[in-house]
Amino acid sequence: MRAYFKESAHPVYGAWVALVMFVFYEILLVADPRALGNVRNAPEAWTRTLLYWVGVEPRYLTFVLITVSLLAIPWFHRHRASPPRLKVFGGLILEALAWGAVSGIWIRWILGNLFFSLGPQGMPLLTSMGLAIGAGLFEELFFRVLLTGALIWGISKIFRRPLPAALLAVLIASFFFSLSHYVGRLGDPFEFYSFMFRFMAGLWFTSLYITRGFALTALTHAFYDLYLVLGMA
């Protein structure tokens, strides 16, 4: 079991999971013309804007991210003695299914029964499922991999103590994760309780990322959102 936890946290599994999730994300949204070419969540909007700043048309987002994932797989695999194993992927899916179910339970236990909206209502089921997968992918890439990683690196340079740096990074990343749901024309109206719900969710997912890596965290986030879409959470 210890070997599984260590291996499943390796970035090569995260690169494979990101690739598969992004493919599913795009496939599930093909059936809904309203979703094609449109911004679907805040981190995706920021990614499209960043591409525009560096001279890449936002419509090439799919090509860019698939290419990055394909390049990341051999990059992370270069120092491994053995290829990724299917049983580890299977373990990640089962573990994420369990953590996805637990995620909503413990947050509601702390805050009470609060309404947590995933986004626009009344969408086709496949589109809603695609948006759930996209949230798990883009939000984890931005808030956990990029933001949390940068915060830990930067804060550790100031405090030079790993644990306080990690704790402060978790708090800051979780705050901005929650705040992002209220930014822009597609953002939700600000409500204190929904903000706190998302802040607690951010604490949970960021802590999970630090301890278990990107692959499990992205899958857990996506499965939790899928539970919401299917009315199971």
Among 205, 176, 180, 179, residue whose Cα is nearest residue 192: 179
Kindly report whether the global pTM for this prediction surpasses the value 0.85: no
Model confidence at 16, in pLDDT bands (50, 70, 90)? very high
88-131 pLDDT, tens digit each? 999 999 999 999 988 877 776 655 544 344 444 556 788 888 88
Among 74, 65, 66, residue whose Cα is nearest residue 11: 74
203-232 pLDDT, tens digit each? 999 989 999 999 999 999 999 988 888 876
Torsion of CA 44, 96, 20, 176, to 10 degrees: 10
Report in angstroms the alpha-carbon separations of 155 from 146, 160, 172, 204, 208: 14, 8, 11, 20, 19
pLDDT at residue number 51 = 77
